[in-house]
Structure 1
Amino acid sequence: MVHAHAQVDQPVTLGITPTGDLDGASRHYEKKLGDMAGVYADETAWQAERSVNGDDSLVYYVNEQKYQEGPGALIVGTSVLLPGSYGNEFAVTRGHLHGVSDRAELYYCLSGRGVMLLETIDGDSSAIELTAGQAVNVPGQWIHRSVNVDTEPFVTLFCYSADAGQNYGIISDAGGMKNLVVRDDAGWRTMPNPRHTGYTVGVTQ
């Protein structure tokens, strides 16, 4: 039921480019090499990259637009993950499970080539390659992270509920995700992460 005098948010027009520019964004944030402590399995390779390029070297950035808080609103944004590797592991985002863990998220590839690495606490796993024009609808209860397996930026458009939040600690507390995305002769493959100790954080509905 719509109340005659209820406050109603106004529609928002967004300009989105294949390179990840978002005209109308309400927030921009960046993750740099120094922010990625503990993310890569090869700590030595990460430290070597820091010694060459410094902690301020950009790894990825996000533009997002949110018009209100609460479960009825959506966050829409773009993620730009730059190419790179650390040992044989490709560049990744930190990854997360949603704080309200049954919240889903849509990722649509605008340009580049990447992999959406997905895992559940119960042990299911999937790695889905995305190129421009392809999307993955990530259900709730799936931990997910973007991986750039190409030499160009991996750019995605994402959309999720504004009340979802992000739980980044579930990955770091487990020593990283269960699987890594690494280079091989065919381009990329997954392999077990030797540092992974298992997910122990309970799922919040």
Structure 2
Amino acid sequence: MNHPPTAHAIDPKTGTMNGATARYEKRLRDLSTIYADEAAFARAVAQEGDRVVYYVHETRPAASHGDLIFGTTFMEPGRIGEEYFVTRGHIHARANRPETYYGESGNGLMLMENPEGETRILEIAPRVLVYVPPMWIHRSVNTGAEPLVMSFCYPSDSGQDYEIIARSGGMATRIMANGTGWKAVANTAYRPRTTEEIAAILATRD
């Protein structure tokens, strides 16, 4: 049965989307191994481990193929040491599926990396749409002093692989505070993917 046509109002400040069918959140304690400064992370968790770093409202139509998943992401501002708050990040389990992100409020970055380790960083702001092409790992970063709210959309049969980042010791690049702005620095713990690992990702094209 086809999903009926719907309309969804988005609050650009809170990320609330009416008609959403699901909501999930990530608290600070859920984001271990992501940040470079492990001591700063441990202190932050001890002080405010229940703090919600980001949450997602989404709608998943009944169809598993030929349809779209869409929703909003709300990210709090903050840092662990000098590293800005980020989402866990992922590549799609069917890696040739793209995604779009549209800035509703706040300012941040879309940190992207292809299987070979090439990095691209695009700024996202109100009325700016970022296109994440197929085969790219992506992670959102809030570099502003206010919440970052984005709406997103991607094919409903995409799936997510969140562990691809952990398997390489993180993404190749970290986003750090730099005075009043941000800077991209190399992740010293990063392990480039092997030829076999890259081939396995590229094989998920169906």
Question: TM-score w.r.t. structure 1 length?
Answer: 0.93
Query: How far 1:185 moved relative to its partner?
Result: 2.7
Contact 1:170 1:199 in 2 (8 A): no
Matches within 5 A, 1:90-169: 90-169=84-163
Pick from 166, 171, 185: which aligns with 1:172?
166
Contact 1:68 1:162 in 2 (8 A): no
Q: Measure, in 1, the Cα distance between the counterparts of 2:80 and 2:192.
A: 23
Where in structure 2 are there 5+ consecutive unaligned residues?
A: none
Q: Measure, in 2, the Cα distance between the counterparts of 1:42 and 1:119.
A: 22
Q: Measure, in 1, the Cα distance between the counterparts of 2:104 and 2:135.
A: 25
Which amino acid is the alignment partner of residue 104 of structure 2?
Answer: L
Where in structure 1 are there 5+ consecutive unaligned residues?
A: 1-6
Q: Measure, in 2, the Cα distance between the counterparts of 1:198 and 1:64.
A: 33
Once structures 1 and 2 are overlaid, which stretch shifts more, 182-191 or 171-180?
A: 182-191
Which amino acid is the alignment partner of residue 110 of structure 1?
Answer: E
When you count helix as a share of all residues, which structure comes out higher?
2
Query: How far 1:186 moved relative to its partner?
Result: 5.0
Matches within 5 A, 1:41-56: 41-53=36-48, 55-56=49-50
Pick from 177, 182, 190: which aligns with 1:188?
182
**Match of 1:47, SS?**
helix
Once structures 1 and 2 are overlaid, which stretch shifts more, 172-181 or 65-74?
A: 65-74
Once structures 1 and 2 are overlaid, which stretch shifts more, 30-39 or 192-201?
A: 192-201
Query: How far 1:199 moved relative to its partner?
Result: 3.0
Q: Measure, in 2, the Cα distance between the counterparts of 1:106 and 1:43.
A: 31
Q: Aligned residue for 2:191? A: 197
Matches within 5 A, 1:63-82: 63-82=57-76
Question: TM-score w.r.t. structure 2 length?
Answer: 0.93
**Match of 1:50, SS?**
helix
Q: Measure, in 1, the Cα distance between the counterparts of 2:180 and 2:74.
A: 24
Query: How far 1:9 moved relative to its partner?
Result: 2.3
Contact 1:103 1:141 in 2 (8 A): yes
Query: How far 1:71 moved relative to its partner?
Result: 2.0
Question: CA offsets per residue over residues 29-60 of structure 1, 9 Å max, x none?
Answer: 0000111011111111111111111x211110
Query: How far 1:130 moved relative to its partner?
Result: 1.1
**Match of 1:44, SS?**
helix
Contact 2:3 2:63 in 1 (8 A): no
Contact 2:2 2:63 in 1 (8 A): no
The question of 1:27 aligning with 2:22 is answered yes
Q: Aligned residue for 1:4? A: none
CA RMSD of aligned residues (A): 1.1
**Match of 1:151, SS?**
coil
Once structures 1 and 2 are overlaid, which stretch shifts more, 66-75 or 21-30?
A: 66-75
Q: Measure, in 1, the Cα distance between the counterparts of 2:2 and 2:157.
A: 18
Question: CA offsets per residue over residues 79-113 of structure 1, 9 Å max, x none?
Answer: 01111101110000000000000000000000000
Which amino acid is the alignment partner of residue 43 of structure 1?
Answer: E
